[in-house]
Structure 1
């Protein structure tokens, strides 16, 4: 009986924590006209995104990730097939010099980027379900066979690769016809 009470309490805590994680990443609205127009434009772009690359292009805060996808020549792969989930690093995740350096080595860049693209659709709803099923942890597989571990770090969703590199999810559900883009605040670097 103690185990069932403990299990029920643990599940309740997990649900409350997961709700807080996802509530924190929901953007707040401001009253300025410019911000309202930008949100409306971004929403229209997301709704009309024909593929996951289009979804990535719909948010200017992830333009470096889009540039990297194109430089690594992954855009043609990501425009077909799927579903895919891209955990896209925010523009602030790397310095402009590092982005330029990586863009000059498409093979290395492709290796790094493939570690951010997951087979399957993992939007906010699917991630919550996976965390609940895994009692606070879930694993997903990238398009090149790597494992990413999703877990709660305090009240935030954290993604960690096999090399121990981690980032937190800061944006959910930029939707394309063949997948979803979730924004992260870092780059998941492979082992050196």
Structure 2
């Protein structure tokens, strides 16, 4: 009798488990889940400057763009991709360097132009460019310099300028009407 009870209990448990598994894998009841690695800027982001201002981790870069006198030109024209240093990236500069740059709009402008390229490069576009270039791609900044894109040893997107300054992308696809902002973790020094 004990065997019969154990067999009956096992059969009931098996049927219950099988019905739960079937319910979880029933494709007719699934609701499609949207996965999106992009983070769109708020509806009010009519341009890349608005997209930059939409994320509080990039306030120093937004202030620098305004101080350097680049705000008006980045709000019109394009498309542009800004590889914007996050606030933490600016804290890595030598003591006093940021203050010095903020007092010299011409030098600040030169530095910032090295972070802006012509064209709209979302994450998917960058991946496609890297595949086409067999792991490397070159982009031209708005002041004519070359940024080389590659995959870092830690499997992140790495940018290197012509002076050998290196940074990694830490945020993708803040969308503006005339371009995209991708965040980086270091300031590319000219």
Deviation at 1:166, TM superposition (A): 0.6
> What does residue 161 of structure 1 align with?
161
Query: What TM-score does the superposition give when structure 1 sets the normalisation length?
Result: 0.75
CA distance in 2, matches of 1:46, 1:100: 30
Deviation at 1:101, TM superposition (A): 1.9
> What does residue 35 of structure 1 align with?
none
Cα deviations across residues 29-88 of structure 1 (Å, max 9, x unaligned)? xxxxxxxxxxxxx85x43331000000000010000000000000000000000000000
> What does residue 22 of structure 2 align with?
none
Deviation at 1:97, TM superposition (A): 4.0
* Matched pairs, number: 150
> What does residue 19 of structure 2 align with?
none
> What does residue 23 of structure 1 align with?
none
Residue 85 in 1 paired to residue 85 in 2? no
The runs of at least 4 aligned residues of structure 1 exceeding 3 Å deviation read none
Deviation at 1:157, TM superposition (A): 0.6
Query: What TM-score does the superposition give when structure 2 sets the normalisation length?
Result: 0.75
Q: Which runs of 5+ in 2 are unaligned?
A: 1-36
Query: CA 1:48/1:157 → structure 2, altered by over 3 Å: closer, same or farther?
Result: same
Deviation at 1:94, TM superposition (A): 1.9
> What does residue 140 of structure 2 align with?
141
CA distance in 2, matches of 1:86, 1:188: 12
Indicate the structure (1 or 2) with the bigger Cα radius of gyration: 2
CA distance in 2, matches of 1:46, 1:152: 30
Q: How is 1:167-186 mapped onto 2 (pairs within 5 angstroms)?
A: 167-186=167-186
Q: SS of the counterpart of 2:43?
A: helix
Residue 76 in 1 paired to residue 72 in 2? yes
Residue 187 in 1 paired to residue 187 in 2? yes
> What does residue 66 of structure 1 align with?
62
